[in-house]
């Protein structure tokens, strides 16, 4: 099984960016933790960060045929990007939306996620642990659906 992790704008600054909101764990540390969890779960993991909406969309288009699902923290594009939603929808792979912070406890404009209606699940508010929980949840859902018996006719 192959999973891609997508990190959106400004997440490259984790560790120094608003630590009171996002914590002190760096993106490299998050990716390292996800890589070790992936090894434990016997999953292949690829991780990608970009500040550019187009680059994130290109990545989804390029990987769509090769991965089984995505863990997505789209950062601020969560609230604005119809184009990223369309890319994720176009490749037809399940994705879990994750956020370090609890969006419902923040500014009103963060309470709307354009990705949420298409997400398999959403994890938010657990800091870096949101990614870990999101990856575990996605792998479990994918394994369950792969093991589900074929419907009999």
Contact with ligand DQA (CB under 6 A) among 99, 123, 131, 132: 99
| Nearer residue to ligand DQA within complex by CB, 63 or 101 | 101
Q: Contact between 100 and ligand DQA (CB under 6 A)?
A: yes
Q: Contact between 78 and ligand DQA (CB under 6 A)?
A: yes
Q: Contact between 7 and ligand DQA (CB under 6 A)?
A: no
**Nearest distance in Å: CB 148, ligand DQA:** 31
DSSP for 17-84? Answer: S-HHHH-S--HHHHHHHHHHHHHHHT-EEEEEE-S-HHHHHHHHHHHTTT-SEEEEE-GGGGGT-HHH
Segments of 68-153 assigned E as strands: 69-73, 95-99, 121-124
| Nearer residue to ligand DQA within complex by CB, 29 or 44 | 29
Q: Contact between 101 and ligand DQA (CB under 6 A)?
A: yes
From the list 7, 22, 77, 131, the catalytic residue is 22
| Nearer residue to ligand DQA within complex by CB, 110 or 136 | 110
Binding positions for ligand DQA, rule: CB under 6 A: 10, 73, 75-76, 78, 99-101, 103, 110
């Amino acid at each position: 099984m192959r999973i891609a992790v997508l990190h959106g704008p400004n997440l490259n600054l984790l560790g120094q960016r608003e630590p009171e909101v996002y914590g002190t764990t760096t993106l490299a540390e998050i990716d390292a933790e996800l890589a070790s969890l992936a090894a434990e779960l016997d999953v292949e993991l690829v991780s990608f960060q970009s500040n550019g909406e187009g680059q994130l969309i290109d990545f989804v288009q390029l990987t769509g045929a090769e991965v089984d699902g995505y863990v997505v923290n789209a950062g601020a594009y969560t609230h604005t990007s119809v184009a990223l939603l369309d890319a994720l929808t176009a490749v037809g792979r399940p994705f879990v939306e994750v956020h370090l912070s609890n969006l419902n406890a923040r500014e009103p404009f963060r309470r709307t996620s354009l990705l949420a209606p298409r997400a398999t699940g959403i994890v938010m508010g657990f800091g870096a642990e949101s990614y870990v929980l999101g990856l575990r949840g996605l792998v479990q859902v994918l394994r369950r659906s792969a093991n589900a018996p074929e419907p009999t006719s």
